[in-house]
Amino acid sequence: MDEVFKALADGSRRSLLDRLHARNGQTLNELCDGLAMTRQAVTKHLAILEAANLVATIKHGREKLHYLNPVPIHQIGERWIRKFERGKLAALSELKRQLEKRDA
């Protein structure tokens, strides 16, 4: 779980996921296209995403195809985000109450 959060912390990596979400199965060179980064930098980002199980790759001849795995993202939604959504309104109203108490 920690690896996934760490992987998602970087904007470049999130945009790589976005690109794969838009078109799955892209090669490394395709993913580099238009980015202000060297190929090797992208390789490193993809390696981190792969270690976090967010992308899976298969080699097809001399090219490496990258596929998005949305499961860890879903798990973060289920196991983490949702926890904070329950009782959200209660927390907000308490915060509001406390902030108002300050001005009193």
Partner DNA sequence: TTGACATGCAACCATTTGGTTGCATATAAT
Partner DNA sequence: ATTATATGCAACCAAATGGTTGCATGTCAA
Evaluate whether 20 touches 66 at the Cβ level (below 8 Å). Answer: yes
2 lies in the site for its own copies, by CB under 8 A: yes
* Phi (first) and psi of residue 42, to 5 degrees: -60, -40
28 lies in the site for its own copies, by CB under 8 A: no
- In the range 53-72, which residues lie near DNA by CB under 7 A? 59, 61-64
Residue from the set 20, 45, 52, 72 that interacts with DNA by CB under 7 A: 45
d(CA 48, CA 4): 9
Could you give the string, one character per residue 2-21, with x where binding to DNA holds by CB under 7 A and - elsewhere?
Answer: ----x--xx-x---------
